[in-house]
Chains A and B, each alone.
Chain A
Amino acid sequence: MNNELTLITPELIIASAICLLILVNSFLTTEKRYTGLIIGSITMATCALISLIFLIETTNSSIFNNHYKIDHFSTGLKFTTYLIALFIFIGTKTNKENTKSELVLLEIFAILGVSILASSNNLLTLYLGLETLTLSMYGLVASKRSSEIATESAMKFFILGAIASAIFLYGVSFVYGLHGTLFFEELNNATINNTIEMQLALAFIICGIAFKLGAVPFHSWVPDTYQGASTSSALFISTIPKLGAFALIYRLLYEAFIANAEFWSLLILLLGLLSLILGNVIAIAQDNLRRILGYSAVGHIGFILIGLSIGSIDGAIAALAYLVIYILMTAAAFMSIEVISTEKRAVVTLADIKDLNSTHPWISLIMLFSMFSMVGIPPFIGFYAKWIILSELINSDMLSIALIGIIVSVIAAFYYLRIVWYMYFEKNELPIMKGSPNIFQKTSISLVGLSILLLGIYPSPIINFCRSIFSPFLLID
């Protein structure tokens, strides 16, 4: 267990899977191929298993000259990532239209980026992980080459992302100039950290983070990419990279710059409130289902940021639980869109899902679960997610923020319920959606959909898991 290479087994397996996939694909010529699905799923299953073993018997250790860290947080986050990725692969890649192996390859690259982000112990490693993640996201968005919207959104995303990376690196260069080191432990220097220059550097770094999360002043790429990318890529982009961004924000703010907590918590709170309010209000005016989901993602990120702005480990636990629950809900919504779309006609606007109940009753029920859960209606897990964030806010005397959160959630209920209304009570004038899910898709979408309901009734596994990830810190506290 103490060997450096043993500790990074999941990353090594992913890296070898990438090389294997490239080799296998270059010798295959057929159009419809499932190599990506098979290799991707096996890799994710193995990695999830290995990180689960690591999670149970983890010894915290820094490896590669302190550049890389294996602790509860990193292994727990990796385990979550691999498990969600496995579901996404089985849920979308079994569809004949999504078997292009380049997409699987890019997604595995993104997962590698998330793993590196989760384990990084140094600003350099962190940035390299971030670039691995974002580069593969650009590729995923742009992969639908024939579509004009996809190309435009990919171009916008690429340019904005490059600027965000530059701003982030500018902040990092300030940090290096002030501290003379890039290692997280050595950045906790209170005398330097309270200077105004350090706050400037942090402001730049937080701008970069906010872009990666899609928080409000930097959110414009989120609805665009959700609209432009193919459904399976949109599903991926809306789930896994959010975990990477959470790792980024946790490693930087909670570990490297915890001494500046007073300063950054204010900035994060502002970003969170803006995202919460603007994301949910703009979503009301949208007609495009994917853009609605995009703006709702911005709103949910607002909730997560508010949870993180509390600045305590409890806040981070609540935020991580909210994030995992949000990923479940959004995965259910996007999988529903995915399975009823066909190659010729994808679900785009609300008019496409009118009267979905009469043709796809089970899918529309899953969609209803997801929407009700996003509103926060009690038996579903979304209620619990909102509840833990709000109770953490009240515990730390931020009652007014909690009130704003509740009011905005009520406003947001309008557009979520509008989707449900369209599915169940509107007459359909367009031709019906012809897509029919296969057995794998049915299984994974049902598992995700039912988990929204069942975990809502019995939510302790999720919160216990999130707590156990942070447990070493709880012991210290």
Chain B
Amino acid sequence: MIKEIIFYTFSSVLICSSLAVILFRNPVYSAVSLILSFITSGFLWLLLQAEFLAIVLILVYVGAVMVLFLFVIMMLNINNERDKSSFNSLAPFALFIGLIIAAELITLIWINSSQFNINSLSIQEPDQVSNTLALGKELFTNYILSFEIAGFILLLAIIISISLTLRTRKNVKTQIASEQISVDPSTRIKLVDLKERE
């Protein structure tokens, strides 16, 4: 009973905050609502006994991604007026398409709901080990290949973002440490004997 109450409270907060993300005019408010929706979905995962994923979701998305996002929004100083007009012109069309897809999905599930029965899936009882340990064991044994490929995808993303933003300028004054160290004083300083003025 208490579980249901917690579930429904958090899911209603999640739905409201997700709606707020797209309805707020101010991008900073949207970003903050997105943070709220991440935190509430983290709580929902806690209810499913996935504590590691819940903490990772909050740490990674709220702690890193959204903070970065807020920085970008504040640095770019996005013009709100223009966004509003483009949103309004596309909103009816988007709403129409969205309603069609939602109606299709709902009728499908309504007509034939037997297959979407969650209980029919064999959900394994969680082992008596912590979530982190179980995930780590799976990740580094059964899913090692996927893990390695994901590493390469990250490397690729780094290379793309560097190659798209790095601009090597000519005539830029850079320090070359090796040359600086190997300088011979005799070539740099010329001692000139000055005759004393009479």
Contacts and interface: CB of A to CB of B under 8 A. Distances in A.
Given A132-B152, A180-B122, A196-B108, A139 B160 contact: yes
Contacts of A198: 115
Interface in A88-127: 102, 105-106, 109, 112, 116, 122, 124-125
Contact of B164 (A128, A142, A196): A142
A88 B164 CA distance: 23
Contacts of A67: 142-143, 145-146
Interface in A130-158: 131-132, 135-136, 138-139, 142-143, 145
B115 A132 contact: no
B112 A197 contact: yes
Contact of B159 (A106, A124, A142, A178): A106
Interface string B122-146: 1000000000000000000111111
A99 to B, nearest CB: 14
A129 B149 contact: yes
B153 interface: yes
A65 B146 CA distance: 11
Contacts of B153: 128, 131-132, 135
Interface string B87-131: 000000000000000000100110110011000011000000000
* Secondary structure dominating the interface of B: helix
B150 interface: yes
A455 B23 CA distance: 60
B157 A128 contact: no
Nearest to A174: B116
A307 to B, nearest CB: 30
A67 B147 CA distance: 12
Contact of B142 (A65, A129, A138): A65
**Among B108, B116, B156, B159: residue with most chain A CB under 10 A:** B156
A135 B115 contact: no
B193 to A, nearest CB: 42
B163 A139 contact: yes
Given A65-B142, A197-B108, A139 B149 contact: no
Contacts of B155: 18
Contact of A125 (B105, B145, B163): B145
Nearest to A154: B164
A75 B45 CA distance: 41
A196 B112 CA distance: 8
B111 A138 contact: no
B174 to A, nearest CB: 11
A27 interface: no
Nearest to A200: B108
Contacts of B157: 135
Given A67-B146, A132-B152, A180-B122, A197 B116 contact: yes
B115 A143 contact: no
Interface of B: 105, 108-109, 111-112, 115-116, 121-122, 141-146, 149-150, 152-153, 155-157, 159-160, 163-164
Given A67-B143, A125-B149, A139-B163, 6 more contacts: A112-B152, A125-B145, A128-B149, A178-B115, A192-B115, A200-B105
10 contacts: A15-B152, A18-B152, A65-B142, A67-B145, A106-B163, A132-B152, A142-B164, A196-B111, A197-B108, A197-B115
